[in-house]
Each structure stands twice: as structure tokens, then as C-alpha cells.
Structure 1
Amino acid sequence: MNLSDSQTAGPLAPRPTAAEAVLGHLRAAIERGEYTVGDKLPSEAELCRTLEVSRPVLREALRALQTMGLTVSRTGRGTFVVACSVQDPTFGDYAAGDLLEARRHVEVPVAGYAALRRTPEHLDELSRLLDRMERETDTAAWAALDTLFHLNVAEAAQNPVFRRIIEEIRDALARQSAFLDERGGRRAHSDREHRAILAALADGSEHDARKAMSHHLDRVQAALTDIVRPGRADAPAEGGPRT
């Protein structure tokens, strides 16, 4: 079974990566009950042979399964199934639903304050970050710049408490950004949404800045929902991926 050249149906459908194909195969097997809670997945060597993929590709897919909460990796023992369906991905110390809920209460008003309080230096730094993001091709580096953008929006609000809060969730934000880029192809969309936020800040519009940040978080949630429950990306924004 060779998944390295898998392709979604339809001439205009985007071609999934090998890791996405492996992830889809293993996730479907778990959700169909081929592997049940408590079962150990085949060894990496066996899965690589069966699926005809390299070990780095397999490990990327296994990391995604763990982020989705379907499996857990136990050092020296292997990978075990811990859930039969995806409930809420986890990024570092925080579940996606908890992270998004908190971000709505923090980052939307922060964007409004930033529109009123930003300096030319803040705008210049945010613009430089976006320029770098749009040129960046490495997922991890782009995700790190993504977190810096949000951190600098908080900096522009000129309240050190806001910055401290974003700093606290910075690792989770980077993990989430990388996950959404790898699984959901979010990078170009996110760059455009960040540009809209910056434009609102430059205009000094509290209303537009709050609206742009809220739209950005809506799209993050929609992408997560589409990954967790494919075909339901148009679900209502409130409630997070756990609904």
C-alpha cells in the first residue's frame, strides 16, 4: 500500500503530502475500529514497510495523531490508541478549545487597544514581521514569526499584562500555527488576515482592529473544526472544536 503518491479526488483538489495521506489512513483505521482504545499500533518499521513511506514521513503523521488526542507515545513501548475519535487537539499545555476561548477574550480587545495606542515604530515592526512571514518557506520558522506578530500586537497595546499573557501561550500558538499549516494549508490565508489586522491598526480604528482579529480567530477555528470533523468547517464559531 503506497501512500507516498496519494491524491484527493477531483482535478482541482490539492494534492496531500505523504504525511497527510498516512495520517488520514491511520486516523480512519482508528475511527473504523481497526485499532481500539488500548491497542498498540504496529511498529514504525512495520508501518513504513506497509505504507511504503519513509520514517520522517511516518513520524510526522504520528505526531499529528498524538496532537489530535487519538494516540499517545510511550518511550520504549510504542504508540497506543487512547481515543476512538478526535475531540479536541492539544497544543503544548493547552487544548485547542480552551486556547481559542481565551484568545477571543484577550486578543480581540488587545487589537482594539493597539489601534488606539500603537506608535509608528510598532507599525514598522509588525510590517517587517509580515514581510518575513510572506517570504518564509519553513513551517516551523513561519509559525514562530506568527507568534511574534501576535506578541507585537500585544506590545502595541502598551499594557505589559497583555504581553505577558500572550508570552505565556506563545509555545501553544506556535504549535497550533504549525499544525494548521501542515494539516490545513493555512499559511497564505493567515498572512492575508494578519495584513488586515495591520491595516486596521495603521488606520487607528479600534472597531476594525477588533473585527479583523475576530475574523482571524474565526478562520483558525474553522480550520481546526474542518480537521477535527471534516465537512463541518462552516459550523458556528462559538464553542470551539469541542462542539
Structure 2
Amino acid sequence: MTVEEGRVQRVGATEAVFRRLKDLIRSGEYAIGDRLPAELALAQQFGVSRPVVREALHACAILGLTETRTGRGTFVIAEKENAQLTFAGVRAGDLIEARQLVEVPTAGFAAQRRTEADLRNLTEILGKLALATDAHEWVRYDGELHIAIAEASGNKMLTVMVADTRRALDPQSEFLNLTQHRRADSDREHEAIVRAIEAGAPEDARRAMTEHLERVAETIARIGE
């Protein structure tokens, strides 16, 4: 994932284009009020597909750097990232706090109450995450895993609460995995959570979920650096 002679390598292309666009905006090459080149022009400039550019531009919009105006194009509206990332109307900080309160104890209950069917389901979803071919597919399985952990807790209310967070979590998860290269780390963290549940070790399960959420929080905190 590097930028060489104006072209972006295919591996990690969205993250590379995203970071390049951020640099161009921060440096003033694209100043506040400027209209960015069209997607096709940016795709040719960076040597990537239009969907890659579209995802990178979406990430810039999430950071509050750009705004797409229907029929007019994408404009720079700020040179620095918004300090408060928001996904589906929910602040990232609020989302992390809520997840810590709900998902950490839920993982512990899952380790105490999981059934063999729960374990088969969790293991199957881990396999799907490992084989996912694109970010959108991976995000879908990420959501399925966290909901399956809640289902394994045997508490219907916790399951509903975890499922409800996906409205904001899915776009956050996609954003982090496209722009911050979180997928491999998330896969390892998910594996640790599931193995603790499989072992029937509630303290380990709570610890593994806590570490997962802390890594997500740290990644979000680094975005503006």
C-alpha cells in the first residue's frame, strides 16, 4: 500500500487514496471551497477503479473534509478532520461507551451459557470473516458475529441491544477497515473472544471483548493524527 509516481497499488487501494486525498486537502492543494476532480479523473490519476475512489471520498465526507452536492460534485469544506466522528447520527465515542457497557458482560454470559449449536455458529461465522472477499461482505459477517455472541448469552434483551447498535456500527466498521487497515487485527481479536467463549471462561471472554473495543477506540483516536 504505497503511492508511486501518482499511481496507487491495488492492495489497500481505498486506504491509500483516502490518505492521499487527506494530504492534498491538508496541504491546501485542494483548498476549502474547491471542487474535487470527478471520480473518473481521480481514478485515472491514482490508477484505481471508480468504486475505490467513491469509497475514499465517502471516508473523507465522514471525517467532515468534503461534501457531495447533487448535480454539482464534491467540494472541500474543511482542511482538518471533525473531532467528533459520527456514524448514522451516533458519535463514535458514545458508541464505544455503550458497547463497553453491553458487549463486555454479554461475552461473559455467552461463555457461561453457550450451547454446542452456538459454538458451531460462532465458528462458522469466523470462517466466513476469514474468507470474505470485500469490505462490505466482511462488515456483514462482523455484525453477524457480534449478534451471535449476544444470542449465545441467552439474554434476549442483550441480543436486541447489540443488534440495534449495528445501524451505527456497520458504517463505522466499514470506515475503519477501509481506511485504517483494521481487518486483520479484528479477525485476531474476534478469534480470541470466540475461543474464550468456547472454553467456557467468562473472565477471559470479558477481557477479550474489552481488548477488542479498546483497540477500536484507539484506532478512532488516531484518525486525526
| Same fold (TM > 0.5) | yes
Distance 2:134 2:36 in 1: 30
The one-letter code of the counterpart of 1:187 is R
Q: Which residue, out of 182, 186, 199, partners 2:182? A: 186
Look up the match of 2:15: 20
The answer as to 2:117 corresponding to 1:121 is yes
Q: Could you tell me the TM-score, scaled by structure 2's length? A: 0.85
**Residue equivalent to 1:40:** 35
> 1:205 corresponds to which letter in structure 2?
A
Query: How far did 1:38 drift?
Result: 4.2
Match of 1:203 among 199, 202, 224: 199
> Counterparts in 2 of 1:73-222, with a 5 A limit?
73-86=68-81, 87-222=83-218
Hey, what does 1:55 align to over in structure 2? 50
Q: What is the Cα deviation at residue 208 of structure 1?
A: 1.0
Residue in structure 2 matched with residue 9 of structure 1 by the alignment: none
Deviations 1:117-161 (A, max 9, x none): 222221121111112211222221111001100001111112222
What secondary structure, in the 3-state scheme, does the structure 1 residue paired with 2:222 have?
helix
In the aligned structure 2, how far is the partner of 1:48 from the partner of 1:203? 48
**Unaligned ranges ≥5, structure 2:** none
Contact 1:115 1:205 in 2 (8 A): yes
Q: Residue by residue, what CA displacement relative to the aligned partner does 1:46-93 show, whole Å, maximum 9, x if unpaired?
A: 544555554333212111101222222121122223332122333333
Q: Percent identity?
A: 45
- TM-score, with normalisation over the residues of structure 1? 0.80
Residue identity matched to 2:72: R
Deviation at 1:195, TM superposition (A): 1.4
Secondary structure, counterpart of 2:67 in structure 1: strand
**CA distance 1:189–1:53, shift in 2 (3 Å):** closer
For residue 4 of structure 1, what is the amino acid of its counterpart?
R
3-state SS of 2:223 partner = helix
Query: RMSD between aligned alpha carbons?
Result: 2.4
Work out whether residues 8 and 47 of structure 2, in 8 Å CA contact, stay in contact via their aligned partners in 1.
Answer: no
Post-superposition shift, 1:222?
2.2
Choose between structure 1 and 2 for higher RCO, CA contacts under 8 A separated by at least 6 residues.
Answer: 2
Unmatched segments (≥5 aa) in structure 1: 7-14, 230-243
Shift of 1:16: 5.8
Give me the whole-angstrom Cα distance separating, in 1, the residues matched to 2:32 and 2:73.
14
